[in-house]
Amino acid sequence: MKNQNDIHPPRWATRFLSWYCKDELLEDLEGDLHEYFERNVISKGATKAKLIYIIDVFKFLRLYTIRKPEFVNLLINWIMLGSYIKTSGRTIVRNKLFSTINIVGLAISMSVGLLLIGMLFDIFSYDKFHVNHKRIYRVISHYEYLDQKDGNFMATTSLKAAKEIAQTFSVPEEVAILSREFTGDMKAGEKVIPLSGFWSNPAFFKVFSFQLAQGNQATALKDPYSVVLTEKSARKLFGDEPALGKFVTLNNDKQYTVTGILKDLPTFSHMQFDMLGSLVTSEANARKDDLAWDNVWGTWVYLLLPPDADLTALKTSLDELSKREDPTVKNTHIELALQPMDDIMLGQNLGNQIGPTMGRSSMLIFAGLAFIVILSAGFNYTNLSIARSLKRTREVGIRKVIGALKRDVMGQFVVEAVIISLCAVVIAILLFVLLKPYFLNIEPSIQKVFLLNLSPKLLLYFIGFAIVVGMAAGFFPALFFSKINAALVLKNASNSTFFRKLTVRKVLIVFQYCISIIFITSTIVVYKQYKHFITFDLGFKTENILNIALQGNKAEILTKEFSELPEVTGVSQSLMVTSVGNYWGTYVKYYQNPNDSLVVGYNTVDENYLPLHGHKLLAGRNFTARADSSESEVIVNQAVLKRFNIAGQNPEKALGEILKVDGKNLRIVAVMKNFHYGRANARESTKEVMFRYSNKTARLVNVKIKTQDILATYAKIQAIWKKVDPIHPMEAKFYSEQIEEAFSGLKASVKVAGFLAFLAICISSLGLLGMVVFTTETRLKEISIRKVMGASEIRLLYLLGKGFFLLLAIAALISIPVTILFFEKVAFPELANHSPLALGEMLLGVLAVLALALIMIGTQTIKVARANPAEVLKNE
């Protein structure tokens, strides 16, 4: 058994006690606790005794034991702060190279941090202009058909649920309903402007704090055929004339009265619209299934709850509502839940959002990456400061001899770090301003959500951030220096052995290079995937096809006009664009097995579509042109044959079989090869698909172009569009562009990862440069002597560089497997049809980083190795 005297109470607890306790009470109290501790060791054992000791230390943290801050100390600290700042300034100026490396490195990394802060600042500014924003909740719903869980919750719910909540629930003070889709061409006098918005009820103005510039809040959305315009829309329609009370016509059909003019919406509102129509209007024209319980895709419901509302009770009532209404629809369960409005911008990734939002996961990923980059720059600071320590130990020693306490030395170094990081933040703010436009352009949704405007408050946050970063970066060097033993340092002038064993420095360099290599290889891998997907063989041709949205125009007119252009080789019509993530589906039955139904993806096309897109038919013939719009034919892919087991999956024999689609009997006239109907990276992108024939329902015309001068042709096409439809601007995109857009998320990650890789490499290169300069400088004399003794330059290069080579090799050995594992185990299983990991390209990236490092080591060491030994040694 251990001797009882060897067991001590936990040291940190004693230290904590002496930190907070008054001097006059301390000794006696410490003794008392120690006495109890000794007793407890005997009666209860060491572990328990320690625990009791710790608890007692905290128990004695009382008003009468706490040390009062002394005015004199405060004064001294204040005076010393001035001294710290002065001496810090001097050291920063004296070590120009190190200071520059630190400031530049920190500035680069902080610019990312600033972007993050700016983003968070914007996100938390959302919807705060609503007076009751804390009390507004949105009803979200989860759709479940049979046992198929349909992923996440949706931001929408059914109109039915909205009505039920508004009429039967007593808790919500007000229920605002927004329903789509109140959109179209608004006509006032001769002017026609396309506007979009929602149907809403009078409670809208009670729940939200949108202000009416003109009109009455209580009645604006009460009567049928009322419309509330935003000031902007009103100006577009009526110019400077008063709009209130005027009539407008929607889509050349119904006439509406302008009952209110809404002040323009704040940018930081998660919902954006041009106008609102009274909900009663849409209800009057509603079809039966608009009010169905399972029609959960078109209505947003916001509740204004009393401040003390019981959310769990409300959720229970929502569940009861679901239980009551679920039987009205077959095999479907709809779960309702509440989401606080303040969570909308940064909450779960819900489907069917009312406007663009920023998912929590992407923000977290970005924050994580920003943190890593800042950490890396912080390491540079720590690393270089400790490396420099050789020159500063004596300074610290003398300070201590004069009477500086540990905390004074710490203060000195922390202040120095904070000053450097404040210098860095000035540069970082400049970088922030420069980077902002590029950052906002990374992805269209980012531009919609963020402004990133510099405001005084934001600047204050930036400075606060810089101080925090400075303190964090300076903490370890400060701790290191404060522990220096003054006598030892002053006695032994060249005590380089003191720092030899420091492996921390090496670990930090390895860490930085790992980060750089991981970032660069990931960028390369993701870029390869992006390239792979946008040039993916979808099973049909997409080259030189311009998809033009009809926007309500007659397809025949445009087709006729476009066909007359010599550069246009073909024009077809279609309902939708395949392979970019859009799905249209309907139930299909095979007559031999009437109980088996399946949702089959489809596109309705005309007779020109398949040849134009080069779809391969395995058997049968293309659709033939028809004058009438009745439907009798269908073209299916192999997967449909397989799924319904039609004619033993033999394409030739399947011709003539009948499928029941939307209640119509359609004859299979051809079987085509499978192609990627969904996005190429979707798991089931080549499932069951059919083409249906229609010459009436087209939403797009597909124009195939053969020309040398795309711009001129595009201009001609645009001129034709203007002639046919002078109101709407033409919405035309090349198929290949649309596919690229479908993968814009991947492209954005390439850009972000590439940018971060660039930063990480910059930072680690700076750090390495500093370390190399430092080591070579300290060994200058040794090198000179070696040279005099006859060492060759190559030999010296090897001698100086080998330590760093080793570190780089270790970094590569750690980071390459990590990257490979990450993609093979985490990222790729989520990505269907991905291309194999590009090992060759990855290694190229690693080599590039290493080459950069080697060049840096090389140039610095060669400089030293070539130095004239006589010059160096004569100074002795």
Partner 1 sequence: MKGTNLGEFEELVLLTIAALVNEAYSVGICDELERQTKRAVKLGVVHSVLNRLEEKGLVKSKLGEATQTRGGKRKRYYTITSAGKSALVKSKEVRDQLWNMIPEFSLKRI
Q: For binding to partner 1 (CB under 8 A), which residues are involved?
A: 8-9, 25, 27-36, 38, 56, 59-60, 62, 64
From the CB of 457, what's the least distance to partner 1, in Å? 46
Alpha carbons 663 and 827: distance in angstroms, whole number: 42
Give how far the C-alpha of residue 176 lies from the chain's centroid of Cα atoms, to the nearest Å.
30
Contact, 492 vs 708, CB < 8 A? no
Which of residues 14 and 637 has its CB atom nearest to partner 1 in the complex? 14
Which of residues 31 and 242 has its CB atom nearest to partner 1 in the complex? 31
Which of residues 35 and 150 has its CB atom nearest to partner 1 in the complex? 35
Quote the radius of gyration of the chain (alpha carbons, Å): 36
From the CB of 96, what's the least distance to partner 1, in Å? 51
From the CB of 19, what's the least distance to partner 1, in Å? 16
From the CB of 44, what's the least distance to partner 1, in Å? 15
From the CB of 59, what's the least distance to partner 1, in Å? 5
Which of residues 64 and 71 has its CB atom nearest to partner 1 in the complex? 64
Amino acid at 68: K
Which of residues 25 and 192 has its CB atom nearest to partner 1 in the complex? 25
> Tokens standing for 17?
């006690």
From the CB of 43, what's the least distance to partner 1, in Å? 14
Alpha carbons 699 and 693: distance in angstroms, whole number: 13
Alpha carbons 682 and 685: distance in angstroms, whole number: 5
Which of residues 33 and 417 has its CB atom nearest to partner 1 in the complex? 33
User: What are the distances in angstroms from CA 627 to CA 255, 357, 630, 656, 811?
Assistant: 35, 46, 9, 22, 70
From the CB of 64, what's the least distance to partner 1, in Å? 6
Alpha carbons 474 and 476: distance in angstroms, whole number: 6
Which of residues 28 and 241 has its CB atom nearest to partner 1 in the complex? 28
User: What are the distances in angstroms from CA 277 to CA 189, 304, 316, 494?
Assistant: 19, 21, 32, 83
Q: What share of the chain is helix, strand, coil (3-state, %, to 5)?
A: 55, 15, 30
From the CB of 65, what's the least distance to partner 1, in Å? 8
> Tokens standing for 633?
């034919």
Which of residues 37 and 513 has its CB atom nearest to partner 1 in the complex? 37
Contact, 506 vs 807, CB < 8 A? yes
From the CB of 12, what's the least distance to partner 1, in Å? 15
Closest CA to 156 of 356, 336, 325, 410: 336
Alpha carbons 55 and 77: distance in angstroms, whole number: 32
Contact, 142 vs 153, CB < 8 A? yes
Contact, 281 vs 199, CB < 8 A? yes
Alpha carbons 620 and 667: distance in angstroms, whole number: 11
Which of residues 17 and 807 has its CB atom nearest to partner 1 in the complex? 17
From the CB of 46, what's the least distance to partner 1, in Å? 15
From the CB of 132, what's the least distance to partner 1, in Å? 48
Which of residues 56 and 606 has its CB atom nearest to partner 1 in the complex? 56
> Could you tell me which residues come within 8 angstroms of residue 337 by beta carbon, excluding any fewer than 6 positions away?
139, 140, 141, 142, 153, 315, 318
Alpha carbons 439 and 431: distance in angstroms, whole number: 11
Environment class of 547 (CB within 10 Å of its CB; exposed 0-12, middle 13-18, buried 19+): buried
Amino acid at 7: I
From the CB of 20, what's the least distance to partner 1, in Å? 15
Amino acid at 40: N
User: What are the distances in angstroms from CA 439 to CA 111, 270, 364?
Assistant: 11, 21, 17
* Main-chain phi, psi angles of 551, to 5 degrees: 50, 40
Which of residues 59 and 621 has its CB atom nearest to partner 1 in the complex? 59
From the CB of 32, what's the least distance to partner 1, in Å? 5
From the CB of 30, what's the least distance to partner 1, in Å? 5
Alpha carbons 548 and 383: distance in angstroms, whole number: 58
Which of residues 18 and 551 has its CB atom nearest to partner 1 in the complex? 18
Which of residues 31 and 464 has its CB atom nearest to partner 1 in the complex? 31
Closest CA to 295 of 157, 198, 401: 157
Contact, 566 vs 652, CB < 8 A? no
Which of residues 29 and 857 has its CB atom nearest to partner 1 in the complex? 29
Length of the chain: 876
Contact, 550 vs 698, CB < 8 A? yes
From the CB of 51, what's the least distance to partner 1, in Å? 16
Which of residues 40 and 376 has its CB atom nearest to partner 1 in the complex? 40
Which of residues 56 and 633 has its CB atom nearest to partner 1 in the complex? 56
From the CB of 120, what's the least distance to partner 1, in Å? 44
Which of residues 24 and 537 has its CB atom nearest to partner 1 in the complex? 24
Angle at 244 between CA 239 and CA 246, to 5 degrees: 80
From the CB of 25, what's the least distance to partner 1, in Å? 7
> Tokens standing for 304?
């204004």
User: What are the distances in angstroms from CA 157 to CA 288, 318, 319, 351, 582?
Assistant: 16, 12, 14, 11, 22
Q: Which residue has the tokens 């291309």?
A: 835
Angle at 441 between CA 439 and CA 442, to 5 degrees: 70
From the CB of 29, what's the least distance to partner 1, in Å? 7
Amino acid at 410: M
Alpha carbons 512 and 375: distance in angstroms, whole number: 9
Contact, 262 vs 210, CB < 8 A? yes
Amino acid at 581: G
Which of residues 56 and 122 has its CB atom nearest to partner 1 in the complex? 56
